[in-house]
Amino acid sequence: MQKPIRGWFQPAPSSCPVRDRGIRLRTVCEECSGNPQCGQLTLQKRTPLYLEQDPATHVFAVVQGYLRETRTMSDGRVQSLRLVGPGELGGVEALLDRNYYTALEALTEAVVCRVSAETVRDTLRTRVDQPLAMVTELIAELDAVRESLHWVGTLDAEERVLAMLARLSGDTGRGVEFKLPLTRLEISELLGLAHETVSRVIQGLARRGTIRVRGRQITFL
């Protein structure tokens, strides 16, 4: 069920659960490389990995679960910037060697690889084969954020909720039930909607037979 981690580094030389679950490239994870057990971080729900303005020291690759990036405005409003799922990167601004400008927090129980920015920088400096892969990664991220922007700009409430449900369903097919890992409130914050609207849209889709809903169990029909 785990997705491969998109990474910018070479295959791990020794046993590593991350690689063993099918990834092409390994991340230079402090835990992975120093430890034969490849002890990634396991996070409980609601655990923050870092807060806005924290000194930016590490980059994270999500192995399992969902995190979210948020930013707080001067007036206290919180905006969820994006959902970070399996195989995606968080905190790349650490490579700029300054403070994080977003907060990153686990929404579900999650497993992440933690890589120090220093390690990444060293690797970029010394390994000829890595920079292009890293650049490719970042451009893919850029693509993803633009995609979100496109969504927020043009899609109405129902389209956005459908897109989110599709993403959260992963590779679950039609007719197969899956469990929503997020609450209506969390979904609404990520989509820039009110939670009541998310609820109404989901009920509406159910009434029209697009999906079947049993609490947090959803089936596409």
Partner DNA sequence: CGCTTATTTGATCTTGATCAATGGTAGTGG
Partner DNA sequence: CCACTACCATTGATCAAGATCAAATAAGCG
Looking at beta carbons only, is 56 or 111 nearer to its own copies? 56
> Is position 167 an interface residue for its own copies (rule: CB under 8 A)?
no
Tokens 């991340």 label which residue? Answer: 27
Q: CB of residue 84 vs its own copies: minimum separation in angstroms?
A: 12
| CA atoms of 54 and 117, how far apart (whole Å) | 14
Find which of DNA, its own copies, none residue 174 binds, CB within 5 to 8 Å per kind.
none
Closest CB to its own copies among 101 and 178? 101
Burial of 156 (0-12, 13-18, 19+ CB in 10 A): exposed
Paired tokens of 189:
């914050």
Cα-flanking dihedrals φ and ψ of residue 158, to 5°?
Answer: -65, -40
Token pair, residue 201, equals: 């849209």
Tokens of 91: 């905190």
Residues 101 and 207: their CA atoms lie apart, in Å, by 41
Binding mask 56-75 for its own copies (x = CB under 8 A): -------------x-x-x--
* Member of 47, 57, 148, 197 binding DNA (CB under 7 A): 197
- Contact between 142 and its own copies by CB under 8 A: the answer reads yes
Quote the tokens at residue 86: 């399996």
Residues in contact with DNA, shown as a per-residue x/- string from 163 to 182 under the rule CB under 7 A:
-----------------x--
Give the helix ranges, DSSP H, for 35-183. Answer: 117-126, 130-154, 157-169
User: In the complex, what is the shortest distance from the CB of residue 19 to its own copies, in angstroms, rounded to a whole number?
Assistant: 24
Instruction: Give SS3 for 196.
Output: helix
Angle 167-105-196 from CA coordinates, rounded to 5°: 55
> Binding of DNA at residue 149 (CB under 7 A)?
no
Q: Is 196 in the site for DNA (CB under 7 A)?
A: yes
Is residue 134 a contact point for its own copies (CB under 8 A)?
Answer: yes
Using CA atoms, how far apart are residues 206 and 100, in angstroms rounded to an integer? 40
Question: Binding partner of residue 124 among DNA, its own copies, none, CB under 5 to 8 Å per kind?
Answer: its own copies
For position 79 contacting its own copies by CB under 8 A, the verdict is: yes
- Nearer CB in complex with DNA: 15/203: 203
Binding site for DNA (CB under 7 A): 156-158, 180, 183-185, 192-197, 199-200, 202-203, 213, 215-216
